[in-house]
Structure 1
Amino acid sequence: MGHCCSKNVSVVNTDVTTSARDRSAGTRESLPSPSGNSESGDARSGKPTPAHSFSASPFQSPLPAGVAPSPARTPGRKFRWPLPPPSPAKPIMAAILRRRGPSKPVDGPTPIPEEGGDGERERRLDKSFGYAKNFGAKYELGKEVGRGHFGHTCWAKGKKGELKGQAVAVKIVSKAKMTTAIAIEDVRREVKILKALSGHNNLVKFHDAFEDTNNVYVVMELCQGGELLDRILSRGGRYTEEDAKKIIVQILNVMAFCHLQGVVHRDLKPENFLFVTRDEDSPMKVIDFGLSDFIRPDQRLNDIVGSAYYVAPEVLHRSYNVEADLWSIGVITYILLCGSRPFWARTESGIFRSVLRADPNFDDSPWPAVSPEAKDFVKRLLNKDHRKRMTAAQALTHPWLRDENRAVPLDILIYKLVKSYVRATPFRRAALKALSKAIREDELVYLKAQFKLLEPRNGCVSISNFRAALTRNSTDAMRESRVPEILNVMEPLSYKQMDFEEFCAAAINPYQLEALEGWEDIANTAFEYFEQEGNRVISVEELARELNLGSQALSLLKDWIRNSDGKLSFLGYTKFLHGVTLRNTRH
């Protein structure tokens, strides 16, 4: 949910799934899928734009020169899946159509309506939200500043109360456009998320929500500095590293906050970040929580939503968590640094295929002139294995962004990893302790920051420290997403304390370490420590039990144990750190 007085720019905004109402930036139109025409047109004047104007930019219009998009509606799109999809195409199409509702596409067939027909479904839907009904008494509406398929955004001024005389943005969502239960729930959940999260410096402020017979009115902070997308285009599609850092730090800070609260955004892109003012150093706000959702730390979502150019591979595989937002931030960073998209094609299906299979180009200009730290930063976000991706808090301690004077936010990943550690077997804890002794100083910066945030007493932390840290950062969203429930399974910490050395063993992630260029050296050093202090004779059957595997895995695990002494080999140690699934054992 968002707004602003930013101008319309003719760009490809290829949504994998649009929210079941107007996209919250409110000022931008979703264009049809790329159709092979790379010329751009000016959406405001309808005049053709010289082809070279966006040659260095990824934002090319699919429309013929001189043809502007409709300002009033978002055309539907028919999906075609040329790749053998991780899940069948028909269920994916059905899920997309259910979310979009029965609106007619501009250039494709009408989606098959749900059972009962539009009229009967309309009668069944409860469009009462329980919001106040006195909007007109409290606000005076002004000019429209943006329009989408399901509503529009207007400038408004408070007539009484705390906001008397203050300019605000009002999102007006048409109830007539809420043609599915999903559409209604999207609106309800977005308002709930905005209300629960409001207060962070880089998140658009929510004021109130109202409704009447025809509309829902969402009153928010008015940002008048335009979209991040507009500023990228005004610079010719490229930022200096120092300027890019200022942008990315703000994005990471607000996403670390959202993720700690158990909220995944699911539609991060330059259009969804607004500047408060036109000033060059204006702070930036994230908007549009229309596709966002509450999520528990160990939960996996499976609905395909977002925007095609920014969608993470695991979203297309229909199993994802907050790491999907970090992929999108990686795409944004790539664009800021070089002015082009890391994954591009003329069709949505081509984009998806590129996201799943292609590697970003770091060889062509300007990448040779970009610092190694910046390239490493982007690569660690654009890792197709979501387990190897940095979290938002980790990214803020990466050498490219590191600043000792900037506070590091608490990371929910720490809770997930410590939970697993305290419930692990002694053998696995010994393997992790050996690994923690081999990590580099760069990785210790993040761990030291997280340990400090737990406010240790006498150099140690217990479950009370973890609980207090969550309480200090708690919002209504955290309770809604049930993040505090993770403390219930950390109960073994109630009876012990953890010093920094053991905290490091508990809070390191072998998958993330494997993504480092120096992983082989780290693993070799760790195995030396393991040989000294943790390795022991272990049978194949016991090893299977350690990994929660059945008898079908025994033949695979034999290769992990040395014939000479019955202990884990180097291969066995590294595999043991990662664990194995039944799917792995079938190969």
Structure 2
Amino acid sequence: MGQCYGKARGASSRADHDADPSGAGSVAPPSPLPANGAPLPATPRRHKSGSTTPVHHHQAATPGAAAWPSPYPAGGASPLPAGVSPSPARSTPRRFFKRPFPPPSPAKHIKATLAKRLGGGKPKEGTIPEEGGAGAGAGAGAGAAVGAADSAEADRPLDKTFGFAKNFGAKYDLGKEVGRGHFGHTCSAVVKKGEHKGHTVAVKIISKAKMTTAISIEDVRREVKILKALSGHDNLVRFYDACEDALNVYIVMELCEGGELLDRILARGGRYTEEDAKAIIVQILSVVAFCHLQGVVHRDLKPENFLFTTRDESAPMKLIDFGLSDFIRPDERLNDIVGSAYYVAPEVLHRSYSMEADIWSIGVITYILLCGSRPFWARTESGIFRSVLRADPNFDDSPWPSVSAEAKDFVKRFLNKDYRKRMTAVQALTHPWLRDEQRQIPLDILIFRLVKQYLRATPLKRLALKALSKALSEDELLYLRLQFKLLEPRDGFVSLDNFRAALTRYSTDAMRESRVLEFQHALEPLAYRKMDFEEFCAAAISPYQLEALERWEEIAGTAFQHFEQEGNRVISVEELAQELNLAPTHYSIVQDWIRKSDGKLNFLGFTKFLHGVTIRGSNTRRH
């Protein structure tokens, strides 16, 4: 489906998205893919050419391709199978409301949100503006306050100066349009001077006239900032330049000529072999792990946003479209609803999420690659959201019985509705389905989060985590061994200097913007002591992630035996509650965790103590 927009930092927003079956709106053409619950029709979006760097959310750029009606040169062969329309036929339909939204729907405030984002004007009764109507740059994740800013906007002129270079015409020879969106279009261009003289690039042109709110202006500013800050990864679209004049903003990027991943999925009839799917997923995980380490969450991962550099079958992919992306600080939770309906994570709809939302989206993409259909489907956006929140993916129908157990486990560990139980992108690269001893595994930002928590934990909690780590198999310790090695231990130990050096080694401007380097302050206790691999394992494991494993009960049982021998001690209800930072009114929660026979933690108490107790609350961004 299309984009879902929310007001910056804290608005619920979604809408019924599919066209009215009465014919009031256009619908996407049927997919040639085999049904498995629901086929994979192309995601509706704004008109565009078939392969490019983004115009707004999903634009791409293919030189020599007419924008209308086909993205392929006259007489050229389309990679799509017979009867399948190219990208322009999968444009975003106008959307119509047939009835009011039911109260439980996360989409119920979409009209008011869009009206505010469009500058206070009400959308035409019964319709929602097309994708892109939420802002010229790209999305609802702008770091701009709404509330007071919205009410004041009408009283002061908008500042549409960005501080970008103003000599676009002198530097680039603009070519023909190759894609068009609601708030901008993409053209090819030839560099006239400088380091890249003679190179053909893609230029995303965003009209300043369409920037009608402070939020939409901030969207553009943030997109350029992220593109400029992220650098150095082979699967990331390359940013060259940003210019402006009185009328437009020009974002100059690498030209990708190989088309979208979505088009290749359709060309294959919807399904990849496991080996071919692995080649795709490894590239996706690699670039997402890089973004997450830098403190950037993409928030719109889907096949349309991965482009191939050339039409060669083995061409590498590039991640594009950072219009909905944002910097995220350590321990921060975001709360604006953005993304694309089929790929949106449950916690996004609950408006409290972090980087794990990207992992869910990768799970949806993997599911599609392996079986050719979407795991969550409905005729309306609200229906899709209900499916995401309540339904389980189908792993029973064909072709799943013929898919390897490792591949199914891989997808299930991504599509876990509890975000705490999902693998990270780096952990996924060490999963048995993808494991390759020759592949270099990147540093995982999760390590820093978990070690930080461990250093703040009580002695009893540390003993419990040590017992848990001793129950892991050598196979399950592989990821931890690789991460420990990346910290470059000295004589088998790591200290604050090792963690600091590792962050510095992988640092970009994005890491400074997202304040990831603040983890160094949280790890200050390691300035005065060292940590060996055994303690590192205790510090860097997540009980929640382990609970998602099929053999969790076996692990927990073995861990409890170690705990009985090395850490279990007499503890009162009051002391246990204080260990968990519970108020006296919640003491009753832990009463049945203690054995009456000897006053020590029982097996239930041990497993619950590992997880801790969460009394509802949120550390979300507030404006």
Say whether residues 1:190 and 2:172 are aligned partners: no
Instruction: State the Cα distance separating 1:199 from its structure 2 match.
Output: 2.4
Partner of 1:82: 102
Is the partner of 1:536 in helix, strand or coil?
Answer: coil
Say whether residues 1:374 and 2:407 are aligned partners: yes
Letter in 1 for 2:4: V
Partner of 2:234: 201
Is the partner of 1:442 in helix, strand or coil?
Answer: coil
Partner of 2:3: 15
Whose RCO is larger (CA < 8 A, sep 6+)? 2
Is the partner of 2:279 in helix, strand or coil?
Answer: helix
Distance in 1 separating the partners of 2:475 and 2:452 = 24
Partner of 2:116: 98
2:559 to 512, 523, 526: 526
Gaps of 5+ in 2: 9-14, 46-83, 135-146, 618-623
Say whether residues 1:510 and 2:543 are aligned partners: yes
TM-score by length of 1: 0.88
Distance in 2 separating the partners of 1:110 and 1:279 = 39
Over 3 Å counting, the alpha-carbon distance change for 1:69 and 1:207 in structure 2 is closer
Over 3 Å counting, the alpha-carbon distance change for 1:396 and 1:511 in structure 2 is same
Distance in 1 separating the partners of 2:541 and 2:366 = 25
Is the partner of 2:503 in helix, strand or coil?
Answer: helix
| Contact persistence 1:19–1:290 (CA under 8 A) | no
2:434 to 401, 405, 417: 401
- Superposed CA RMSD: 3.2
Distance in 2 separating the partners of 1:19 and 1:287 = 23
Distance in 1 separating the partners of 2:376 and 2:227 = 31
1:108 to 126, 130, 133: 126
Over 3 Å counting, the alpha-carbon distance change for 1:42 and 1:550 in structure 2 is closer
Over 3 Å counting, the alpha-carbon distance change for 1:213 and 1:357 in structure 2 is same
Over 3 Å counting, the alpha-carbon distance change for 1:102 and 1:272 in structure 2 is farther
Partner of 1:543: 576
Distance in 1 separating the partners of 2:346 and 2:268 = 29
Say whether residues 1:257 and 2:256 are aligned partners: no
Over 3 Å counting, the alpha-carbon distance change for 1:33 and 1:485 in structure 2 is same
Distance in 2 separating the partners of 1:72 and 1:176 = 23
Partner of 2:451: 418
2:390 to 352, 357, 372: 357
Instruction: State the Cα distance separating 1:559 from its structure 2 match.
Output: 0.4
Partner of 1:33: 18
Partner of 2:362: 329
Instruction: State the Cα distance separating 1:31 from its structure 2 match.
Output: 11
Say whether residues 1:140 and 2:158 are aligned partners: no
Instruction: State the Cα distance separating 1:482 from its structure 2 match.
Output: 0.3
Deviations 1:290-333 (A, max 9, x none): 00000012000000000000000000000000000000000000
Distance in 2 separating the partners of 1:399 and 1:41 = 44
Over 3 Å counting, the alpha-carbon distance change for 1:244 and 1:41 in structure 2 is farther
Distance in 2 separating the partners of 1:420 and 1:360 = 33
| Contact persistence 1:102–1:179 (CA under 8 A) | no
Say whether residues 1:216 and 2:216 are aligned partners: no
Over 3 Å counting, the alpha-carbon distance change for 1:103 and 1:292 in structure 2 is farther
Distance in 2 separating the partners of 1:71 and 1:246 = 26
Instruction: State the Cα distance separating 1:179 from its structure 2 match.
Output: 1.1
Instruction: State the Cα distance separating 1:181 from its structure 2 match.
Output: 1.1
Partner of 1:458: 491
Letter in 2 for 1:555: S
2:32 to 53, 57, 76: 53
Instruction: State the Cα distance separating 1:108 from its structure 2 match.
Output: 2.2
| Contact persistence 2:345–2:361 (CA under 8 A) | yes
1:433 to 457, 466, 469: 466
| Contact persistence 2:16–2:380 (CA under 8 A) | no
Is the partner of 2:252 in helix, strand or coil?
Answer: strand
Distance in 2 separating the partners of 1:293 and 1:335 = 26
Instruction: State the Cα distance separating 1:17 from its structure 2 match.
Output: 2.1
Letter in 1 for 2:580: L
Instruction: State the Cα distance separating 1:124 from its structure 2 match.
Output: 2.1
Over 3 Å counting, the alpha-carbon distance change for 1:522 and 1:68 in structure 2 is closer
Deviations 1:117-169 (A, max 9, x none): 99973952111100000000000000111100010000000011112110000
Is the partner of 1:155 in helix, strand or coil?
Answer: strand
Instruction: State the Cα distance separating 1:439 from its structure 2 match.
Output: 1.4
Deviations 1:322-349 (A, max 9, x none): 0000000000000000000000000000
Distance in 1 separating the partners of 2:578 and 2:338 = 38
Distance in 1 separating the partners of 2:586 and 2:440 = 46
Say whether residues 1:168 and 2:201 are aligned partners: yes
Distance in 2 separating the partners of 1:85 and 1:32 = 13
Is the partner of 1:172 in helix, strand or coil?
Answer: strand
Letter in 1 for 2:385: F
Over 3 Å counting, the alpha-carbon distance change for 1:77 and 1:276 in structure 2 is farther
Over 3 Å counting, the alpha-carbon distance change for 1:134 and 1:155 in structure 2 is same
Partner of 1:25: none
Letter in 1 for 2:605: G
Letter in 2 for 1:58: L
TM-score by length of 2: 0.83
Letter in 2 for 1:108: G
* Number of aligned residue pairs: 553
Distance in 2 separating the partners of 1:484 and 1:61 = 38
Gaps of 5+ in 1: 1-12, 21-29, 44-48
| Contact persistence 2:580–2:612 (CA under 8 A) | yes
2:513 to 459, 480, 498: 480
Distance in 2 separating the partners of 1:350 and 1:367 = 24
| Contact persistence 2:593–2:602 (CA under 8 A) | yes
Is the partner of 2:442 in helix, strand or coil?
Answer: coil
Distance in 1 separating the partners of 2:361 and 2:324 = 14
Deviations 1:519-573 (A, max 9, x none): 0000000000000000000111111111011101211211000000000000000
Letter in 1 for 2:41: F
Distance in 1 separating the partners of 2:150 and 2:525 = 55
| Contact persistence 2:114–2:123 (CA under 8 A) | no
Say whether residues 1:498 and 2:486 are aligned partners: no
Over 3 Å counting, the alpha-carbon distance change for 1:244 and 1:454 in structure 2 is same
